[in-house]
Amino acid sequence: MTLGQLLSFSAGLVILRSQLLPMAASLPRIIEGGPSLTSVFDLLNEPASQPYEGRNSIDFKGSISLHDVCFSYSDEPFLRDLSIDLQPGRVTAIVGENGSGKSTIAGLILGFYRPQSGRLDADGVPYDAIDLRDLRRSIGVVAQDPMIIPGSVWENITYGVPDAGPEEVAEALRLAMAEDFVARLPGGLAADVGDGGTFMSGGQRQRIAVARALLRRPKLLILDEPTNHLDDEGVEHLMRNVISAHDRVAILLISHRTEVVALADEVFRLEAGRLLRVAGAPGGTSRPPSAALDARE
């Protein structure tokens, strides 16, 4: 071997070593993550199944009924013998501790889960006969941590309603008490919200989600802790706007805040997987708040 060949070999070895060392350092992580990766692939290869296989579309008016519904994520019962009626023009509230199953009830109503026993009806038609994807188009949802897509304020509000006009969007913003802060944004409705809404506060994200839900003019509106990031001053004003936004809309309100639940026509407390009707519930937007949420029939 000549001196030049030796130097070339040494230089190549140094370059190869610099690439092999990071690979060797990553090898334990690759081995450790192998079973997890296998599980992910197994999950992706599982055939997709839907809780309901109905194909009928209905002219949904907003009435949802749960009849003796029992649901469990495992062998241990989680929700037991739930019976509740959501009716157009009425606000039904559910209160309870974190993790008690309030959001699971919303998931059952949306058809994401199927109960082990009991049944759900929409306008008197069993869920088994209904095209749930079509039904969901008539349901608006405002979650505790709403989904904000990368893009502009306009794109987030009109998501799912691409043919909405400026006047409709302006009205939805007004009802959601979002028009003032949107007007102050650079670009207004064209302002970028950031990835996941990182350019906005939690309260601003929730108001955008409320405006998006109201723009759809739903027949049933599910509000899951809709004022979690809002201060007390604007909570009642916002909720009164939402409740009075559209005639004959049914509203399911999930919250732990007394000033919010006080606006409901009917209040239930979820305890140990069961719904207990609260005695002396306020009864709508025209009645004063009630503090008697711990009383039960």
The CATH number linked to 202 is 3.40.50.300
Q: Do residues 25 and 158 share a domain? A: no
Instruction: Using DSSP, state whether 93 is helix, strand or coil.
Output: strand
Q: Do residues 9 and 104 share a domain? A: no
The pLDDT assigned to 288 comes to 37
The pLDDT assigned to 118 comes to 95
Instruction: Using DSSP, state whether 86 is helix, strand or coil.
Output: strand
All residues at 6 or more sequence positions from 232 whose CB lies less than 8 Å from its CB, including other chains: 259
All residues at 6 or more sequence positions from 31 whose CB lies less than 8 Å from its CB, including other chains: none
The pLDDT assigned to 247 comes to 72
Q: Do residues 40 and 70 share a domain? A: no
The count of domains in the chain is: 2
The pLDDT assigned to 9 comes to 87
Is residue 248 in some structural domain? yes
Question: Which parts of the chain have pLDDT scores under 70?
Answer: 228-234, 259, 279-297
Q: Do residues 36 and 78 share a domain? A: no
Q: Do residues 9 and 80 share a domain? A: no
The pLDDT assigned to 297 comes to 34
Query: Cα angle at 191 between 188 and 197, to 5 degrees?
Result: 125
Q: Do residues 92 and 190 share a domain? A: yes
Distances (CA, A) of 100 to 1, 78, 82, 163: 77, 8, 13, 39
Is residue 249 in some structural domain? yes
The pLDDT assigned to 232 comes to 60
- Report d(CA 266, CA 43) in Å as an integer: 41
All residues at 6 or more sequence positions from 207 whose CB lies less than 8 Å from its CB, including other chains: 176, 177, 178, 181, 230, 238
The pLDDT assigned to 119 comes to 94
Q: Do residues 35 and 81 share a domain? A: no
Q: Contact 161/216 with Cβ under 8 angstroms?
A: yes
Is residue 54 in some structural domain? no
Q: Do residues 73 and 200 share a domain? A: yes
Q: Do residues 21 and 159 share a domain? A: no
The pLDDT assigned to 280 comes to 56
The pLDDT assigned to 286 comes to 39
- Report d(CA 220, CA 56) in Å as an integer: 19
Q: Which domain holds residue 237?
A: 64-277
The pLDDT assigned to 202 comes to 83
Q: 101-154: per-residue pLDDT in tens?
A: 899 999 999 999 999 999 999 999 999 999 999 999 999 998 888 888 899 999
Alpha helices for 141-201 (secondary structure H): 153-157, 166-175, 179-184
CA 208 to chain centre: 13
Q: Do residues 37 and 177 share a domain? A: no
The pLDDT assigned to 117 comes to 93
Distances (CA, A) of 167 to 127, 163, 170, 214: 35, 12, 5, 13
Is residue 287 in some structural domain? no
Is residue 288 in some structural domain? no
